[in-house]
Amino acid sequence: MDSKDGVLMQRYELGKMVGHGNFAKVFHGRHLKTGMNVAVKIINKSKVMKAGMVNQIKREISVMKLVKHPHIVHLHEVMASKSKIYFVLEYVKGGELFDKLLKGKLKEDSARKYFRQLISAISFCHSRGVYHRDLKPENLLLDDEGNLKVSDFGLSALAETRRQDGLLHTSCGTPTYVAPEVIDQKGYDGAKSDIWSCGVVLFVLLAGFLPFHDSNLMEMYRKITMGKFKFPNSFPNEAKSLVSRILDPNPVTRISIAEIMETPWFKGSTEETIRDSTYLTEESETETHSLENDCNLNAFDIISLSRGVNLSGLFYRNVEDEKEVRFMSRESLGGIILKLEEIAKSWKLRVVKNNGVLLKMEGLEDGMNGGLSIDFEVYEITPNLHLVEANRLGGDRVGFWEIVNEHIRPALMGVV
């Protein structure tokens, strides 16, 4: 665990394990100086690398830095050792919403409260270009005051990962909660697919069972693609109307989040609206408890600060890898794009841009191995820290290394 006597990085005292998965274990922890309770997710780096999940970990870090909201589990910081990655998260001790459902369906006002908070969180995610893609009761936690917290952004996607058709194409999620267009594998709108999953969650809260379920997976997928399900007799009438509009198999006509918020069932009574007013909050203005400023380093900062404690083995390939270079830059996104364009011009390379974070340099003349072609991707980790990836798509490897390592990296003040 890279800790002594249950103390991690001289910052956190680790307690009992509260959860585990294939690649990670989660422990209850306590910040030694502030006494604040946290959850520490410990990820085995070698397992992640062997499973090819490097990009998923990078994306999860990036996403959780973007989505600070009262109903989303907060990421305090990321640390790393030679063998482990540590996510220090908000400690949510009320357990999973799923545990409540093991006792049966919820009362209508409780279901409305949780659904409002879920919609508030997901609306905020979408406004930041983040799509969760694995919404289900197991990923919805409850704090000690009974408020919902969305967790587990491991399968999430960012808007800039959409293809030229403006759609996402990676099929993922939990089969019983996944939208029909995701099953069809023809591309899907991340926001619309999240809304579908929210609809399945609402159905489960009010019915106590899944709308789409079958021992035969293909038959279940057929029901999902047809939007074929039945309400129990006890299901509230106004909620039936809302769920039917959410579980519309056609994403084009499926209800939007803005429309959901205007429906009678969602609004409920005035008394409920006042009592559950936290769902209207878009973003927390201040942290309830803050760790020391010098603790708020993310994994990418650690790369630049220490050889002994870093993630370089995870995020950087061996220097003999001839097709890819990765480095960190403290330049702004605009500054990075501008400098890349300037260098391309000096090398007589044509620049092709896509959405500002994808950029390609192409040679105007063919070399021994064809025209030099380099694909760049820029990931925002924080507003002042970016990960730059350069991939050689074609052309001479010597030219690629010369332009990237001797010109581009120094110009962007690349941090190794």
Classify 207 in phi/psi space as left (phi over 0), alpha (psi -120 to 50) or beta.
alpha
CATH topology of domain 323-411: TATA-Binding Protein (3.30.310)
Q: What is the mean pLDDT of residues 246-253?
A: 97
Token pair listed for 155: 């399968």
Contacts 24+ apart (CB under 8 A), 227-235: 227/180, 229/203, 231/207, 232/207, 232/208, 234/105, 234/207, 235/206, 235/207
List of E strands, 204-329: 324-329
pLDDT exceeds cutoff 50 at 27: yes
Mean pLDDT of the chain: 82
Q: What is the DSSP string of 184-229?
A: HTS-B-HHHHHHHHHHHHHHHHHHSS-SS--SSHHHHHHHHHHT--
Q: Which CATH class is domain 97-278?
A: mainly alpha
> What are the φ and ψ backbone dihedral angles of 383, each rounded to 5 degrees?
-55, -25
Residue 55 has a pLDDT of 79
Q: How many other CB atoms sit within 10 Å of the CB of residue 375?
A: 17
Lowest mean pLDDT among 46-50, 100-104, 303-307, 319-323: 303-307
- Cα(246)–Cα(297) distance, rounded to whole angstroms? 40
Which among 333, 382, 385, 384 is positioned nearest to 359, based on CA atoms?
A: 333
Q: Which CATH superfamily is domain 3-91 in?
A: Phosphorylase Kinase; domain 1 (3.30.200.20)
Model-wide pTM > 0.75: no
When pLDDT is cut at 50, 70 and 90, the band that residue 268 belongs to is: confident
pLDDT tier at 394 (50, 70, 90 boundaries)? confident
The three-class DSSP label of residue 13 is strand
Per-domain residue ranges of the chain: 3-91, 97-278, 323-411
Residues annotated as catalytic (active site), given as ranges: 134
CB atoms within 10 A of CB 363: 20
Per-residue b or e along 165-174, where b marks 16 or more CB atoms closer than 10 Å to that residue's CB:
eeebeeeebe
How many alpha carbons fall within 13 Å on the CB side of residue 178?
Answer: 19
Beta bridge partners of 233: none
Q: How many CB atoms lie within 10 A of CB 344?
A: 22
- Residue whose C-alpha is closest to residue 8's, from 27, 21, 34: 27
Is the pLDDT at 24 greater than 70? The verdict is yes
What is the C-alpha separation between 24 and 173, in angstroms, rounded?
A: 19
Residue 414 and residue 327: Cα distance in Å, rounded? 6
Higher pLDDT, 66 or 245: 245
Greatest Cα pair distance, the chain, in angstroms, is: 74
Residue located via tokens 């890349």: 340
What is d(CA 415, CA 408) in angstroms, rounded to the nearest whole number?
12
Task: Kindly report, residue by residue over 189-224, the tens digit of the pLDDT.
Answer: 999 999 999 999 999 999 999 999 988 888 999 999
How is 37-79 classified by DSSP, letter by letter?
Answer: EEEEEEEEHHHHHHTT-HHHHHHHHHHHHH---TTB--EEEEE
| Range 82-109 average pLDDT | 92
Residue 1's pLDDT is what? 47
d(CA 30, CA 28): 7
Sequence-separated contacts (24+) of 226-233 with Cβ below 8 Å: 227/180, 229/203, 231/207, 232/207, 232/208
Q: How far apart are CA 110 and CA 238, in angstroms?
A: 15
In order of 295, 300, 331, the CA distances from 311 in angstroms are 17, 7, 20
Give percent of the chain above pLDDT 90: 44
